[in-house]
Amino acid sequence: MRVLYGCNTQGQGHLGKAAVLVPALLARGHEVRVVSSGPRPPEHYRFPGHLHVAGLEYAIEAGRADIARTARDWLRSSPQLLASLRQVRRLVADFQPELILSDFEPFTASPLISPPCEVVSVCRQAALLDPAISTPPPTTRAAHLARTVIRLFLLGADRRLGYHYAPESRRCLPPIIRPELFLLRPEPGNHVLIYNHHYVLEGEAERLIRWASDRRMEVRAYGFTSVPRGRIGYVRFQPSSRSQMLLDMATARAIATTSGLTTPAEGFLLHKPVCVVPLPGQWEQQANAAHLENLGMAVASSAWDYNRLLEIPAPRPEHPLHRWLTTGSEQVLDAILAGSAPARRAA
């Protein structure tokens, strides 16, 4: 089957899922093309038959999502966005996909590409719009705009499947967990792992360095893109590496991370205390933090409170969601493809 896979590149969660699902589709004999949009992806997230186009990016100001500026940026970049849409339309016309899977990628899930097949939106954001899943109500203008943006990104999907931490709906899928995580043997370590990517408040790296020095606590820090890689005092600022980060997680004393989808779940499965810090003004991350805390998988914090991180207990090994969250990626792919037989639409 010819499969077109769409992937959003803002943050690395969508790319991480693509790095698991695209090879799995190819291994099953499917012909796959990948479309990504947003910031240019790192080289280790490039795929065969990969088309990257300019996309719709969130604007971040002082560590906070700026929805108003986001809207202005989208209007200013409309010529580039129209060019991206034309590129994706040409690819669809040439490739003639029999199925489109879109992970929060707005062009592959747009009705404007006139797809000849079923479009399935498979992303965390679909779960946040699922009426069967309770989410924090949007109480600010920015939160309402965020929900509107999610609807826009899923507009042309025939079906929506949402990655979620619990099977609360028939439309839920377990998060995609990297298979190599299950090969690791978690050990109690002497360092904490901090993953603060892309949207670091000014002075946060210096505050972390001072805290680590005061507590004489070893730290493995990922993200903090304005800081040179290497060791500063007790903090080792690590280069981007999926494999090394997993090793550092497996031997960490505790983990603090922004409240994306995958990293908190991986920390939980490694039986580590996890603290999640949602991006201020980002309703999606606030919803993730609420779900993680309500389900007993992590503790949510409005700030990077490193002292509190050391007080969080490890999760119970017999947690009832363990089986759901350890669902293999091949089984998740089976669920995505179920009911997705090629079905051409009427012209």
Query: What pLDDT does residue 45 have?
Result: 86
Note the pLDDT tens digit of each residue in 10-55: 877 899 899 999 999 999 999 999 999 988 888 878 898 899 998 7
Half-sphere exposure of 4 (CA within 13 A, CB side): 32
Q: Which is nearest to 285 in space by CA: 296, 268, 273, 298?
A: 298
Query: What pLDDT does residue 32 have?
Result: 97
pTM, two decimals, is: 0.88
Alpha helix segments (H runs only) across the chain: 13-27, 67-76, 78-95, 124-128, 141-153, 204-215, 242-250, 262-269, 283-294, 306-309, 322-325, 329-337
Buried b (16+ CB within 10 A) or exposed e, 171-183: bbbbbbbbeebee
| Per-residue three-class SS string for 39-104 | CCCCHHHCCCCEEEECCCCCCEECCEECHHHHHHHHHHCHHHHHHHHHHHHHHHHHHCCCEEEEEC
Edge-first strand listing for the sheet containing 99-103: 50-53, 31-37, 2-8, 99-103, 118-123, 159-163, 172-173
DSSP class of residue 200? P
Note the pLDDT tens digit of each residue in 140-153: 777 787 888 889 89
Note the pLDDT tens digit of each residue in 155-212: 999 999 999 999 999 999 999 998 899 999 999 889 999 998 766 677 899 999 999 9
Note the pLDDT tens digit of each residue in 236-293: 999 988 889 999 999 999 999 999 899 999 999 999 999 999 987 788 999 999 999 9
Domains and CATH numbers, the chain: 2-177+327-337 (3.40.50.2000), 179-325 (3.40.50.2000)
